[in-house]
Amino acid sequence: MQLATFQKEKNFILYDAERFCDGGKPLEPPGIGAQEGAARGRCASSMPLEPRWFFPDYWRERDAVTGEAPGRGASLFLTAPDRPDEQWVLRPYRRGGLIARVNDAHYLWTGRERTRAFRELRLTAALHAKGLPVPRPVAAGVWQHGFTYQAALITVRLTGARALADCLADADAALLERVGATIRRFHDSGLDHVDLNARNLLVTPGGEVFLIDLDRCRLRQPGRWQAGNLSRLERSLKKFGASASLPAILAGYHDKSDG
């Protein structure tokens, strides 16, 4: 996957250059890869990107919202504008905790490449390129307001997938071991998932396990963070009354390391 960026007024978009044209002002950030630079001005479709795509009201007005995911960000499921047989997930970035009472959507602006949306999309694209099970990224949108910004992310929806949290009641050992093996694959690639829980692991109708929501995650050298990820998942399983699922997940995790 090749990524490219463009700017329209104070909107900054990072997108899949193999899929879309931008029609905006090209950006040349320091250190940009040769492939990304070469991708500009070339696309597989005549569909131009629209900054409006990152605003939920745009899709509601067009009756293109097909559903909504749980969570504070109120992620929407959308019909893709260029492929009617495909759905997208639009996830606005939202704050949690006490600060959300006074500021639930604005973040400090320190440059577009340091925004949460750009960092998450680049990380997702890198993992996707390695063949790891993450949703295919579509685009990240950031709009600047002086010293702050708001952002949203669009990815391809895994149609029919359910959160592991919703599968725990009837999950067999084979599925739970696949969950553990999948987590180990990400750990072996250096991914520190700071919010590894039973809702950020998705199971497709075919039994594949995917990892989602890479906000604030990063690639690291092996360390104690790996055990920390697993401890967070253990707390999540306990919250859903499924602590008994942990041994099979850990069996799959360690079998992966042995293999």
**What is the rounded distance in angstroms from the CA atom of residue 189 to the CA atom of residue 36?**
23
CB 127 within 8 A of CB 111: no
Amino acid found at 186: F
Closest CA to 161 of 214, 205, 212: 205
CA–centroid distance for 9 within its chain: 25
Residue 24 DSSP class: S
Q: Are 89 and 161 in contact (CB under 8 A)?
A: no
Compute CA 49 distance to the chain's CA centroid, rounded to the nearest angstrom: 19
> Is 195 among the residues known to form the active site?
yes
Q: How far is the C-alpha of 230 from the C-alpha of 239, rounded, in Å?
A: 14
Cβ atoms within 10 Å of 203's Cβ, excluding its own: 22
Given 170, 172, 195, 255, the catalytic residue: 195
Q: Which residues are catalytic?
A: 195
